């Protein structure tokens, strides 16, 4: 079926895999049997094969990135032209495919908490894809960052320009040892009680604490809830507008989300499990 008006068909070369795909499959975002089979996968990189009437931003043969798409775990995806952007030449299809979901999430975290130069930003989960993106964007804005992660990821966090501290008991004291005045902003990409509680203990202004995960506890505490969760701000406009600037930062080498695992499309189930494991160590990508 050729793409309709304003739509683009893409031959998928790589599809980014996210914990959200596992949540979608588990029904966390809602269940509707009328909509089965479920279309999984929201970001891809590939080559434009066909364009519908009225499409002017891309042409057949272009190497592109697309987000947000439906059913990205496939050999071919059709999406609105407004979701399709030129792939930065410096990035492989695999690298480009996993950039925009976590990138736009991190952008939303910084916008919602109004991070600017001089801020001291505590990032929970700085070794993860969303946390790494938030760290890099905060540093690009001139903020200082402390990032939490496991010890084996300390150097990864430091390479982003942040100060690493391990999460776990005593986290608040370890942050105060680095910043006696405490952070001005806390960004939680992890969702544990510890991440929320330490953020509340260290940052007085609850409008400058945001979570993309701890919707129940965070909601009760009156902090900012971002993304697709109960009571959360989806930030659709902010996130949509962030896509081109994020690709520009990646093209300039100022934002990078490394790929840890590349699996064939037939192993989509294993890829989703890995992406949702809590410690994939980087992006998981499917290749048709």
Ligand X SMILES: NC(=O)c1ccc[n+]([C@@H]2O[C@H](COP(=O)([O-])OP(=O)(O)OC[C@H]3O[C@@H](n4cnc5c(N)ncnc54)[C@H](OP(=O)(O)O)[C@@H]3O)[C@@H](O)[C@H]2O)c1
Residues that bind ligand X (CB under 6 A): 18-20, 102, 105, 125, 127-131, 148-150, 153, 167, 189-192, 212-213, 226-229, 278-280
Report the distance separating Cα 26 and Cα 221, nearest Å. 27
Nearer to ligand X (CB atom), residue 31 or residue 57: 31
Residue 16, C-beta contacts closer than 8 angstroms, at least 6 positions apart: 41, 42, 43, 44, 72, 97, 98, 99, 100, 101, 283, 284, 285
Q: Do the Cβ atoms of 211 and 218 come closer than 8 Å?
A: yes
Provide the pairing of β-strand 283-287 with 259-264: parallel
Taking the complex as a whole, the smallest distance from the CB of residue 57 to ligand X amounts, in Å, to: 25
Cα–Cα distance between 30 and 24 in angstroms, integer? 8
C-alpha distances in Å from residue 130, one per residue of 188, 257, 278, 279 = 10, 9, 12, 12
* 30: Cα separation from own chain's centroid: 21
**Cβ-based nearer residue to ligand X, 8 or 73:** 73
Q: How far is the CB of 92 from ligand X (least distance, A)?
A: 19
Q: Kindly state the smallest distance separating residue 6's Cβ from ligand X, in Å.
A: 26
User: In the complex with ligand X, which residue's Cβ is closer, 63 or 188?
Assistant: 188
Measured CA angle at 123 (ends 102, 224), to 5 deg: 75
Closest CA to 153 of 175, 131, 138, 176: 131
Nearest distance from C-beta of residue 122 to ligand X, angstroms: 12
Residue number, 67 or 167, with CB nearest to ligand X? 167
Please state the closest distance from residue 53 (CB atom) to ligand X, in A: 33
Q: Report the residue number, 72 or 128, with the smaller CB distance to ligand X.
A: 128
In the complex, what is the shortest distance from the CB of residue 126 to ligand X, in angstroms, rounded to a whole number? 6
Cβ proximity to ligand X, 105 vs 199, nearer residue: 105
Containing 188, the helix (H) or strand (E) segment is strand 185-188
């Amino acid at each position: 079926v050729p793409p309709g008006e304003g739509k683009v068909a893409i031959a998928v070369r790589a599809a980014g895999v996210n914990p959200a795909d596992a949540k979608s499959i588990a029904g966390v975002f809602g269940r509707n049997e009328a909509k089965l089979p479920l279309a999984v996968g929201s970001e891809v990189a590939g080559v434009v094969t066909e364009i519908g009437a009225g499409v002017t931003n891309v042409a057949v043969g272009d190497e592109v990135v697309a987000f947000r798409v439906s059913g990205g775990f496939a050999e071919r995806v059709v999406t609105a032209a407004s979701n399709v952007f030129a792939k930065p030449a410096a990035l492989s299809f695999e690298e480009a495919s996993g950039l925009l979901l976590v990138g736009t999430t991190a952008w939303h975290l910084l916008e919602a908490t109004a991070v600017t130069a001089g801020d001291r930003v505590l990032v929970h989960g700085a070794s993860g894809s969303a946390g790494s993106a938030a760290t890099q964007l905060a540093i690009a804005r001139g903020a200082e960052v402390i990032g939490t992660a496991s010890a084996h990821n300390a150097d990864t966090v430091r390479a982003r320009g942040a100060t690493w501290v391990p999460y776990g008991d005593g986290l608040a004291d370890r942050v105060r040892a680095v910043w006696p005045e405490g952070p001005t902003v806390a960004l939680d990409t992890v969702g544990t009680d510890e991440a929320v509680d330490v953020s509340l203990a260290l940052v007085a202004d609850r409008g400058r604490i945001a979570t993309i995960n701890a919707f129940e506890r965070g909601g009760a505490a009156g902090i900012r809830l971002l993304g697709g969760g109960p009571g959360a701000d989806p930030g659709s406009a902010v996130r949509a507008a962030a896509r081109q600037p994020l690709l520009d930062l990646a093209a300039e080498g100022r934002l990078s989300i490394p790929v840890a695992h590349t699996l064939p499309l037939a192993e989509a189930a294993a890829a989703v499990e890995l992406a949702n494991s809590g410690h994939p160590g980087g992006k998981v990508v499917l290749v048709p």
